[in-house]
Protein backbone atom coordinates (compact mmCIF):
# COMPACT_ATOMS: atom_id res chain seq x y z
CA UNK A 1 0.00 0.00 0.00
CA UNK A 2 1.28 3.48 -0.81
CA UNK A 3 1.32 6.49 1.47
CA UNK A 4 -0.25 9.75 0.33
CA UNK A 5 -1.27 13.07 1.81
CA UNK A 6 -4.58 14.66 0.92
CA UNK A 7 -4.61 18.36 -0.04
CA UNK A 8 -6.38 20.20 2.78
CA UNK A 9 -6.08 23.92 2.14
CA UNK A 10 -7.86 25.85 -0.62
CA UNK A 11 -6.95 29.29 -1.82
CA UNK A 12 -7.96 31.36 -4.76
CA UNK A 13 -5.68 31.06 -7.79
CA UNK A 14 -4.30 34.36 -8.99
CA UNK A 15 -3.39 34.04 -12.62
CA UNK A 16 -1.50 36.80 -14.39
CA UNK A 17 -2.59 37.94 -17.81
CA UNK A 18 -0.34 39.67 -20.34
CA UNK A 19 -0.95 43.41 -20.58
CA UNK A 20 -2.84 44.63 -23.63
CA UNK A 21 -2.71 48.41 -23.98
CA UNK A 22 -5.34 49.80 -26.34
CA UNK A 23 -4.32 53.04 -28.01
CA UNK A 24 -6.78 55.81 -28.56
CA UNK A 25 -8.28 56.12 -32.04
CA UNK A 26 -8.16 59.95 -31.78
CA UNK A 27 -4.52 60.65 -31.08
CA UNK A 28 -4.16 63.75 -28.89
CA UNK A 29 -7.83 64.70 -29.00
CA UNK A 30 -9.87 64.42 -25.82
CA UNK A 31 -12.21 61.46 -25.51
CA UNK A 32 -15.25 63.78 -25.84
CA UNK A 33 -14.24 64.59 -29.44
CA UNK A 34 -14.06 60.89 -30.33
CA UNK A 35 -17.31 59.43 -29.06
CA UNK A 36 -17.08 56.31 -31.22
CA UNK A 37 -14.01 55.15 -29.32
CA UNK A 38 -14.38 53.58 -25.89
CA UNK A 39 -11.87 54.47 -23.25
CA UNK A 40 -9.14 51.85 -22.86
CA UNK A 41 -9.66 49.62 -19.82
CA UNK A 42 -7.03 49.84 -17.11
CA UNK A 43 -4.17 47.38 -17.57
CA UNK A 44 -4.59 44.14 -15.61
CA UNK A 45 -2.71 43.65 -12.41
CA UNK A 46 0.65 41.95 -12.93
CA UNK A 47 0.91 38.33 -11.81
CA UNK A 48 2.09 37.83 -8.25
CA UNK A 49 5.77 37.00 -7.81
CA UNK A 50 6.61 33.33 -7.28
CA UNK A 51 5.87 32.18 -3.77
CA UNK A 52 8.87 32.19 -1.48
CA UNK A 53 7.35 29.66 0.88
CA UNK A 54 6.86 27.96 3.12
CA UNK A 55 5.51 25.03 1.14
CA UNK A 56 2.13 23.97 2.52
CA UNK A 57 -0.52 21.45 1.45
CA UNK A 58 -3.41 22.61 -0.70
CA UNK A 59 -5.93 21.12 -3.07
CA UNK A 60 -4.78 20.63 -6.64
CA UNK A 61 -7.80 22.52 -7.94
CA UNK A 62 -6.89 25.61 -5.89
CA UNK A 63 -3.77 26.07 -8.02
CA UNK A 64 -5.19 25.10 -11.38
CA UNK A 65 -4.38 21.39 -11.39
CA UNK A 66 -6.35 18.14 -11.42
CA UNK A 67 -6.07 15.88 -8.38
CA UNK A 68 -7.30 12.95 -10.46
CA UNK A 69 -4.57 13.41 -13.03
CA UNK A 70 -1.91 13.64 -10.33
CA UNK A 71 -3.18 10.40 -8.82
CA UNK A 72 -2.94 8.83 -12.27
CA UNK A 73 0.72 9.87 -12.45
CA UNK A 74 1.38 8.19 -9.11
CA UNK A 75 -0.51 5.07 -10.18
CA UNK A 76 1.72 4.72 -13.24
CA UNK A 77 4.79 4.82 -10.99
CA UNK A 78 3.24 2.16 -8.77
CA UNK A 79 2.88 -0.07 -11.81
CA UNK A 80 6.61 0.25 -12.47
CA UNK A 81 7.33 -0.88 -8.92
CA UNK A 82 4.89 -3.79 -9.23
CA UNK A 83 6.62 -4.81 -12.48
CA UNK A 84 9.96 -4.94 -10.66
CA UNK A 85 11.61 -1.96 -12.38
CA UNK A 86 12.76 -0.55 -9.01
CA UNK A 87 11.86 -1.23 -5.37
CA UNK A 88 10.18 2.01 -4.33
CA UNK A 89 9.78 5.77 -4.66
CA UNK A 90 8.51 9.01 -3.23
CA UNK A 91 7.13 11.72 -5.49
CA UNK A 92 5.99 15.28 -4.84
CA UNK A 93 4.18 17.89 -6.94
CA UNK A 94 3.97 21.57 -5.98
CA UNK A 95 2.60 24.64 -7.70
CA UNK A 96 2.44 28.31 -6.67
CA UNK A 97 4.13 27.36 -3.41
CA UNK A 98 1.56 24.70 -2.52
CA UNK A 99 2.11 20.95 -2.24
CA UNK A 100 -0.73 19.41 -4.21
CA UNK A 101 0.40 15.79 -4.28
CA UNK A 102 2.77 13.50 -2.36
CA UNK A 103 3.02 9.77 -2.65
CA UNK A 104 5.22 6.97 -1.34
CA UNK A 105 5.12 3.37 -2.53
CA UNK A 106 7.16 0.20 -2.58
CA UNK A 107 9.97 -1.09 -0.41
CA UNK A 108 13.14 0.44 0.96
CA UNK A 109 15.11 -2.72 0.15
CA UNK A 110 14.53 -4.89 -2.89
CA UNK A 111 12.90 -8.10 -1.68
CA UNK A 112 12.37 -6.72 1.82
CA UNK A 113 9.24 -5.73 3.69
CA UNK A 114 10.03 -2.19 4.94
CA UNK A 115 7.65 0.20 3.18
CA UNK A 116 8.82 3.43 1.64
CA UNK A 117 7.20 6.37 3.44
CA UNK A 118 7.09 10.08 2.77
CA UNK A 119 10.03 10.67 5.14
CA UNK A 120 12.27 8.05 3.49
CA UNK A 121 15.77 9.30 2.64
CA UNK A 122 17.27 8.51 -0.78
CA UNK A 123 20.80 8.56 -2.13
CA UNK A 124 20.52 11.60 -4.40
CA UNK A 125 23.76 10.98 -6.31
CA UNK A 126 24.26 13.88 -8.78
CA UNK A 127 21.50 16.06 -7.35
CA UNK A 128 24.36 16.75 -4.92
CA UNK A 129 25.97 18.94 -7.58
CA UNK A 130 23.12 21.44 -7.25
CA UNK A 131 21.88 20.97 -3.66
CA UNK A 132 25.37 21.15 -2.17
CA UNK A 133 28.21 22.23 -4.43
CA UNK A 134 26.82 24.77 -6.89
CA UNK A 135 24.64 26.52 -4.31
CA UNK A 136 27.52 26.62 -1.81
CA UNK A 137 29.78 28.21 -4.42
CA UNK A 138 27.16 30.85 -5.18
CA UNK A 139 26.65 31.58 -1.47
CA UNK A 140 30.38 32.27 -1.27
CA UNK A 141 30.16 34.51 -4.35
CA UNK A 142 27.26 36.35 -2.71
CA UNK A 143 29.36 36.82 0.43
CA UNK A 144 32.37 38.08 -1.51
CA UNK A 145 34.58 35.13 -0.58
CA UNK A 146 34.70 33.70 -4.10
CA UNK A 147 34.42 35.17 -7.59
CA UNK A 148 33.04 33.43 -10.64
CA UNK A 149 36.03 34.48 -12.72
CA UNK A 150 38.62 33.41 -10.16
CA UNK A 151 40.99 30.74 -11.47
CA UNK A 152 40.41 27.43 -9.74
CA UNK A 153 44.12 27.12 -9.00
CA UNK A 154 43.81 30.09 -6.62
CA UNK A 155 41.99 27.76 -4.22
CA UNK A 156 43.27 24.37 -5.37
CA UNK A 157 47.03 24.75 -5.57
CA UNK A 158 47.55 21.19 -6.81
CA UNK A 159 45.46 21.96 -9.91
CA UNK A 160 48.50 22.24 -12.16
CA UNK A 161 49.10 21.46 -15.82
CA UNK A 162 48.89 22.96 -19.28
CA UNK A 163 45.99 25.39 -19.62
CA UNK A 164 44.68 24.88 -16.10
CA UNK A 165 45.46 28.45 -15.08
CA UNK A 166 42.63 29.44 -17.45
CA UNK A 167 39.98 27.26 -15.73
CA UNK A 168 37.65 29.48 -13.72
CA UNK A 169 35.08 28.80 -11.03
CA UNK A 170 32.45 29.75 -13.62
CA UNK A 171 33.77 27.12 -16.03
CA UNK A 172 33.56 24.44 -13.36
CA UNK A 173 30.03 25.41 -12.36
CA UNK A 174 28.77 25.23 -15.96
CA UNK A 175 30.48 21.91 -16.87
CA UNK A 176 32.94 23.60 -19.20
CA UNK A 177 36.24 23.19 -17.36
CA UNK A 178 38.09 21.16 -20.00
CA UNK A 179 38.29 18.14 -17.70
CA UNK A 180 37.01 14.72 -18.82
CA UNK A 181 33.81 13.09 -17.61
CA UNK A 182 35.61 11.11 -14.92
CA UNK A 183 38.58 8.99 -13.99
CA UNK A 184 38.51 6.05 -11.65
CA UNK A 185 41.09 5.93 -8.89
CA UNK A 186 40.25 3.62 -6.01
CA UNK A 187 43.32 1.87 -4.66
CA UNK A 188 45.26 4.68 -2.97
CA UNK A 189 44.79 6.72 0.15
CA UNK A 190 42.27 9.55 -0.32
CA UNK A 191 45.02 12.20 -0.39
CA UNK A 192 46.73 10.45 -3.30
CA UNK A 193 43.44 10.01 -5.16
CA UNK A 194 42.77 13.73 -4.82
CA UNK A 195 46.25 14.50 -6.11
CA UNK A 196 45.76 12.28 -9.14
CA UNK A 197 42.40 13.81 -9.92
CA UNK A 198 43.82 17.31 -9.63
CA UNK A 199 46.65 16.38 -12.02
CA UNK A 200 44.29 15.13 -14.75
CA UNK A 201 45.09 16.87 -18.07
CA UNK A 202 42.50 19.01 -19.83
CA UNK A 203 40.79 17.56 -22.89
CA UNK A 204 39.63 20.83 -24.49
CA UNK A 205 40.04 24.59 -23.92
CA UNK A 206 37.95 25.69 -20.94
CA UNK A 207 34.84 27.64 -21.81
CA UNK A 208 34.61 26.23 -25.35
CA UNK A 209 32.17 23.32 -24.97
CA UNK A 210 30.10 21.40 -22.45
CA UNK A 211 31.24 18.06 -21.13
CA UNK A 212 29.33 16.91 -18.07
CA UNK A 213 32.01 15.97 -15.57
CA UNK A 214 31.84 14.26 -12.20
CA UNK A 215 35.56 14.91 -11.89
CA UNK A 216 35.02 18.65 -12.27
CA UNK A 217 32.45 18.76 -9.49
CA UNK A 218 34.59 16.71 -7.14
CA UNK A 219 37.35 19.28 -7.56
CA UNK A 220 34.88 22.16 -7.37
CA UNK A 221 33.88 20.83 -3.97
CA UNK A 222 37.49 21.27 -2.87
CA UNK A 223 37.49 24.83 -4.23
CA UNK A 224 34.40 25.55 -2.12
CA UNK A 225 36.04 24.10 0.97
CA UNK A 226 39.15 26.23 0.51
CA UNK A 227 37.14 29.41 0.03
CA UNK A 228 34.74 28.62 2.89
CA UNK A 229 37.33 27.42 5.37
CA UNK A 230 35.05 24.48 6.19
CA UNK A 231 34.28 21.05 4.82
CA UNK A 232 31.60 20.91 2.15
CA UNK A 233 29.10 19.03 4.29
CA UNK A 234 29.40 21.51 7.15
CA UNK A 235 29.21 24.59 4.95
CA UNK A 236 26.22 23.36 2.92
CA UNK A 237 24.44 22.41 6.14
CA UNK A 238 25.04 25.73 7.88
CA UNK A 239 24.68 28.07 4.89
CA UNK A 240 21.87 26.38 2.96
CA UNK A 241 20.08 23.38 4.44
CA UNK A 242 19.67 24.52 8.04
CA UNK A 243 18.35 28.01 7.17
CA UNK A 244 15.86 26.39 4.77
CA UNK A 245 14.69 23.89 7.38
CA UNK A 246 16.01 20.97 5.32
CA UNK A 247 16.58 18.93 8.46
CA UNK A 248 16.64 15.58 6.65
CA UNK A 249 19.39 16.52 4.19
CA UNK A 250 22.86 15.23 4.97
CA UNK A 251 26.02 13.54 3.82
CA UNK A 252 26.91 10.22 5.51
CA UNK A 253 23.62 9.64 7.36
CA UNK A 254 24.21 8.67 11.00
CA UNK A 255 23.22 5.20 12.24
CA UNK A 256 20.02 6.44 13.85
CA UNK A 257 18.66 7.26 10.38
CA UNK A 258 19.42 3.82 8.95
CA UNK A 259 15.84 2.56 9.17
CA UNK A 260 14.59 5.54 7.17
CA UNK A 261 17.01 5.08 4.26
CA UNK A 262 16.17 3.40 0.97
CA UNK A 263 18.87 0.99 -0.18
CA UNK A 264 20.25 1.22 -3.69
CA UNK A 265 22.16 -1.83 -4.90
CA UNK A 266 25.48 -3.56 -5.21
CA UNK A 267 28.37 -1.99 -7.12
CA UNK A 268 31.32 -3.31 -9.05
CA UNK A 269 33.43 -3.05 -5.87
CA UNK A 270 30.83 -3.74 -3.15
CA UNK A 271 28.89 -6.94 -3.68
CA UNK A 272 26.36 -6.36 -0.91
CA UNK A 273 23.34 -4.08 -0.91
CA UNK A 274 24.37 -0.47 -0.29
CA UNK A 275 22.25 1.28 2.32
CA UNK A 276 23.11 4.53 4.05
CA UNK A 277 26.35 5.05 2.11
CA UNK A 278 26.83 6.74 -1.25
CA UNK A 279 26.60 4.18 -4.03
CA UNK A 280 29.29 5.73 -6.23
CA UNK A 281 32.44 3.76 -5.43
CA UNK A 282 34.94 6.57 -5.82
CA UNK A 283 32.98 8.95 -3.62
CA UNK A 284 32.65 6.15 -1.07
CA UNK A 285 36.43 5.60 -1.05
CA UNK A 286 36.91 9.35 -0.58
CA UNK A 287 34.80 9.32 2.58
CA UNK A 288 31.33 10.10 1.22
CA UNK A 289 31.59 13.90 1.27
CA UNK A 290 32.18 15.07 -2.30
CA UNK A 291 31.04 17.80 -4.65
CA UNK A 292 29.79 15.21 -7.10
CA UNK A 293 27.63 12.79 -5.07
CA UNK A 294 26.90 11.85 -1.49
CA UNK A 295 23.87 13.84 -0.31
CA UNK A 296 20.86 11.97 1.12
CA UNK A 297 17.48 13.64 1.43
CA UNK A 298 13.69 13.41 1.26
CA UNK A 299 11.31 14.56 -1.47
CA UNK A 300 10.00 17.35 0.78
CA UNK A 301 13.48 18.75 1.46
CA UNK A 302 14.34 18.66 -2.24
CA UNK A 303 11.11 20.50 -3.01
CA UNK A 304 11.95 23.16 -0.43
CA UNK A 305 15.27 23.75 -2.16
CA UNK A 306 13.52 23.97 -5.54
CA UNK A 307 11.04 26.48 -4.13
CA UNK A 308 13.92 28.61 -2.85
CA UNK A 309 15.46 28.74 -6.33
CA UNK A 310 12.07 29.44 -7.93
CA UNK A 311 11.56 32.20 -5.36
CA UNK A 312 14.71 34.03 -6.44
CA UNK A 313 17.01 32.70 -3.74
CA UNK A 314 14.62 33.26 -0.83
CA UNK A 315 12.36 30.87 1.08
CA UNK A 316 10.15 31.56 4.09
CA UNK A 317 11.94 34.81 4.83
CA UNK A 318 15.42 33.26 4.57
CA UNK A 319 17.64 34.63 1.81
CA UNK A 320 20.21 32.06 0.65
CA UNK A 321 21.54 33.97 -2.37
CA UNK A 322 20.54 37.20 -4.06
CA UNK A 323 17.94 37.25 -6.82
CA UNK A 324 20.50 38.06 -9.52
CA UNK A 325 22.63 35.05 -8.66
CA UNK A 326 19.56 32.84 -8.34
CA UNK A 327 18.51 33.89 -11.84
CA UNK A 328 22.00 33.31 -13.22
CA UNK A 329 22.13 29.85 -11.65
CA UNK A 330 19.29 28.62 -13.88
CA UNK A 331 20.06 30.65 -17.01
CA UNK A 332 21.94 29.32 -20.02
CA UNK A 333 25.60 29.83 -19.07
CA UNK A 334 26.89 28.00 -22.16
CA UNK A 335 25.62 30.01 -25.16
CA UNK A 336 28.45 28.59 -27.28
CA UNK A 337 26.60 25.24 -27.41
CA UNK A 338 24.08 24.52 -30.18
CA UNK A 339 21.30 22.76 -28.28
CA UNK A 340 19.73 21.22 -31.38
CA UNK A 341 23.00 19.61 -32.43
CA UNK A 342 23.77 18.35 -28.92
CA UNK A 343 20.31 16.96 -28.08
CA UNK A 344 20.62 13.76 -30.13
CA UNK A 345 20.27 11.03 -27.49
CA UNK A 346 19.40 10.73 -23.79
CA UNK A 347 23.07 10.39 -22.83
CA UNK A 348 24.28 13.26 -25.01
CA UNK A 349 21.48 15.37 -23.59
CA UNK A 350 23.07 14.90 -20.17
CA UNK A 351 26.65 15.27 -21.36
CA UNK A 352 26.60 18.00 -23.99
CA UNK A 353 23.52 20.23 -24.02
CA UNK A 354 23.53 23.78 -22.56
CA UNK A 355 23.83 24.07 -18.78
CA UNK A 356 23.29 26.54 -15.98
CA UNK A 357 25.36 26.57 -12.81
CA UNK A 358 24.91 22.94 -11.79
CA UNK A 359 21.50 22.62 -13.43
CA UNK A 360 20.49 20.83 -16.60
CA UNK A 361 18.36 22.98 -18.91
CA UNK A 362 15.26 21.74 -20.67
CA UNK A 363 15.55 20.76 -24.32
CA UNK A 364 12.55 19.42 -26.24
CA UNK A 365 13.83 16.09 -27.50
CA UNK A 366 15.75 13.89 -25.03
CA UNK A 367 15.44 15.70 -21.70
CA UNK A 368 14.90 13.39 -18.71
CA UNK A 369 12.22 15.94 -17.74
CA UNK A 370 10.03 14.83 -20.65
CA UNK A 371 8.82 16.91 -23.57
CA UNK A 372 6.10 19.14 -22.11
CA UNK A 373 7.99 21.49 -19.79
CA UNK A 374 8.11 25.15 -20.77
CA UNK A 375 11.19 26.66 -22.43
CA UNK A 376 13.42 27.93 -19.64
CA UNK A 377 12.69 24.99 -17.34
CA UNK A 378 15.59 23.47 -15.42
CA UNK A 379 16.28 20.34 -13.42
CA UNK A 380 18.75 17.67 -12.43
CA UNK A 381 19.02 13.91 -12.63
CA UNK A 382 20.85 11.62 -10.21
CA UNK A 383 22.38 8.39 -11.45
CA UNK A 384 20.65 6.17 -8.88
CA UNK A 385 17.22 7.24 -10.17
CA UNK A 386 16.48 10.64 -8.61
CA UNK A 387 15.07 13.65 -10.46
CA UNK A 388 13.88 17.20 -9.85
CA UNK A 389 12.53 19.68 -12.41
CA UNK A 390 11.17 23.20 -12.14
CA UNK A 391 8.93 24.89 -14.72
CA UNK A 392 9.17 28.60 -13.82
CA UNK A 393 6.53 29.71 -16.33
CA UNK A 394 4.00 27.49 -14.58
CA UNK A 395 5.56 27.86 -11.09
CA UNK A 396 5.54 24.07 -11.07
CA UNK A 397 7.87 21.69 -9.20
CA UNK A 398 8.15 17.94 -9.61
CA UNK A 399 10.38 15.66 -7.53
CA UNK A 400 10.80 11.93 -8.13
CA UNK A 401 13.13 9.92 -5.88
CA UNK A 402 13.60 6.19 -6.51
CA UNK A 403 16.01 3.57 -5.19
CA UNK A 404 16.62 2.14 -8.63
CA UNK A 405 20.37 2.30 -8.06
CA UNK A 406 23.23 3.12 -10.42
CA UNK A 407 23.24 1.18 -13.69
CA UNK A 408 25.98 -1.45 -13.78
CA UNK A 409 27.81 -0.89 -16.03
CA UNK A 410 27.11 2.84 -16.24
CA UNK A 411 27.21 3.21 -20.01
CA UNK A 412 24.82 4.55 -22.63
CA UNK A 413 22.66 1.45 -22.61
CA UNK A 414 22.58 1.44 -18.81
CA UNK A 415 21.59 5.13 -18.70
CA UNK A 416 18.80 4.57 -21.23
CA UNK A 417 17.56 1.61 -19.21
CA UNK A 418 17.47 3.66 -15.99
CA UNK A 419 15.48 6.44 -17.66
CA UNK A 420 13.04 3.94 -19.14
CA UNK A 421 12.60 1.93 -15.94
CA UNK A 422 12.07 4.95 -13.68
CA UNK A 423 9.72 6.47 -16.30
CA UNK A 424 10.97 9.92 -15.28
CA UNK A 425 9.95 11.56 -18.56
CA UNK A 426 6.45 10.09 -18.30
CA UNK A 427 6.25 11.36 -14.71
CA UNK A 428 7.09 14.96 -15.58
CA UNK A 429 4.91 14.89 -18.70
CA UNK A 430 2.07 13.70 -16.49
CA UNK A 431 2.69 16.45 -13.95
CA UNK A 432 2.48 19.09 -16.69
CA UNK A 433 -0.60 17.34 -18.05
CA UNK A 434 -2.30 17.78 -14.68
CA UNK A 435 -2.29 21.56 -15.15
CA UNK A 436 -5.83 22.64 -16.03
CA UNK A 437 -5.75 26.44 -16.20
CA UNK A 438 -3.96 26.78 -19.52
CA UNK A 439 -5.81 27.53 -22.75
pLDDT tens track for 36-72: 434 455 554 555 567 777 999 999 999 999 999 999 9
C-alpha 431/C-alpha 246 separation (Å) is 24
Residue 214: closest CA among 233, 200, 226, 225: 200
Residue 206: closest CA among 233, 179, 230: 179
C-alpha 430/C-alpha 305 separation (Å) is 22
Residue 24: closest CA among 1, 40, 3, 43: 40
Residues 349 and 394 in one domain: yes
Q: Residue 19 has what pLDDT?
A: 31
Last residue of a domain, one of 226, 260, 286: 226
Residues 321 and 192 in one domain: no
Residue 407 placed within a domain: yes
Residues 104 and 206 in one domain: no
Q: What percent of the chain stands above pLDDT 70?
A: 89
Rounded to two decimals, the pTM is: 0.89
Residues 429 and 300 in one domain: yes
State the residue range of the domain holding 214.
139-226
Q: Which residues pair with 180 in a beta bridge?
A: none
Whole-number mean pLDDT of the chain? 90
C-alpha 431/C-alpha 395 separation (Å) is 12
Is-contact 432 396, C-beta < 8 A?
Answer: yes
Long-range contacts, stretch 80-87, CB < 8 angstroms, 24+ apart: 80/421, 80/422, 80/423, 81/105, 81/106, 85/404, 85/421, 85/422, 85/423, 86/385, 86/402, 86/403, 86/404, 86/405, 86/421, 86/422, 87/111, 87/112, 87/116, 87/262, 87/263, 87/403
Residues 294 and 428 in one domain: yes
Residue 242 placed within a domain: no
C-alpha 36/C-alpha 156 separation (Å) is 73
Domain CATH code at residue 265: 3.40.710.10
Q: Provide the domain count of the chain.
A: 2
Residue 306: closest CA among 371, 380, 243: 380
Residues 354 and 398 in one domain: yes
Residue 348 placed within a domain: yes
Residues 256 and 213 in one domain: no
Q: Residue 38 has what pLDDT?
A: 40
pLDDT in tens, 107-161: 999 999 999 999 999 999 999 999 999 999 999 999 999 999 999 999 999 999 9
Residues 186 and 66 in one domain: no
Residues 256 and 397 in one domain: yes
Residue 350: closest CA among 373, 366, 326, 372: 366
Domain CATH code at residue 202: 1.20.58
Residues 279 and 352 in one domain: yes
Amino acid sequence: MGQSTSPIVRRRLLQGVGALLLGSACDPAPASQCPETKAAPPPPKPPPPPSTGPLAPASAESVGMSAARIEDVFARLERRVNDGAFPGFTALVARHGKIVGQHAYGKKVRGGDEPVTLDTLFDLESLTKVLSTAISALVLVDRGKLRLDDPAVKYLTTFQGEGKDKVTVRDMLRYSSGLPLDNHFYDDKPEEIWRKMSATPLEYPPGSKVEYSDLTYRLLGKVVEAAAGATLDVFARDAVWKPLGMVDTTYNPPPELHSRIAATGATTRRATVVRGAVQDDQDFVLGGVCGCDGVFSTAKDVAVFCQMVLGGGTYDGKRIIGAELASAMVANQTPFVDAAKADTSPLLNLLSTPKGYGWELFTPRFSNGGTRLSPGSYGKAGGAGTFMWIDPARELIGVLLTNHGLPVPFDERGWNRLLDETSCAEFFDGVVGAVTDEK
